[in-house]
Amino acid sequence: MTHTLLCVRDYVPENNIFELKQTGKTEVLREITDRAKALSILPDDIAASEVFHQLLKREQLGSTGIVNGIAIPHCKTDMIEPDMSIFVGYSSEGIEFDAHDGNSVFLIFTVLTRKKSGTIHLAALAAISRMISKYGLSTNISDYLNPEALRRIIEECEYEI
């Protein structure tokens, strides 16, 4: 079996790491899709609205708020321009995200992939999970609530897929 490397940094340009201003799940998902539109990852308001609704629909299946302050909302859409884009939002205030442990979320990795992108979607989710584990994000989350610290760990992460 041939393996390749998924470099998380290839899908997280500098402007994709940002402080979240909202404190509710719906508002934060809107903030993320608005950011994607502002960065031309989503081409227009129609695309931003469609992706926002897809993210909400995914959340209705079950919260992507895992434990210890982290959420990983994701969806597949042909509305995005690249094959995949990952956004990393952070909040020192905390976000009510209906996380499985009932606690607020402080760090959100949002993965948007094209529908026909194959297994890259799953590889990205696995890479993010490994990064959370490797750097102890869930136990040391306050150390990573700034763009410099997040960029540093994202730059270092490469995972075989």
Is residue 1 scored above 60 in pLDDT? no
pTM of the model: 0.93
Is the Cβ–Cβ distance between 126 and 88 less than 8 Å?
Answer: no
Task: Kindly report the CATH number assigned to the domain that includes residue 141.
Answer: 3.40.930.10
Q: How many domains does the chain have?
A: 1
101-144 pLDDT, tens per residue? 999 999 999 999 999 887 888 888 888 988 898 888 888 899 99
CA–CA separation, 120 and 93 (whole Å): 32
**Residue-level pLDDT at 158:** 65
Mean per-residue pLDDT, 145-151:
94
Q: What is the pLDDT of residues 74-104, one digit of tens each?
A: 999 999 988 999 999 999 999 999 999 999 9
* Structural tokens at position 120: 């890259």
Task: Give residue 146's domain range.
Answer: 5-160
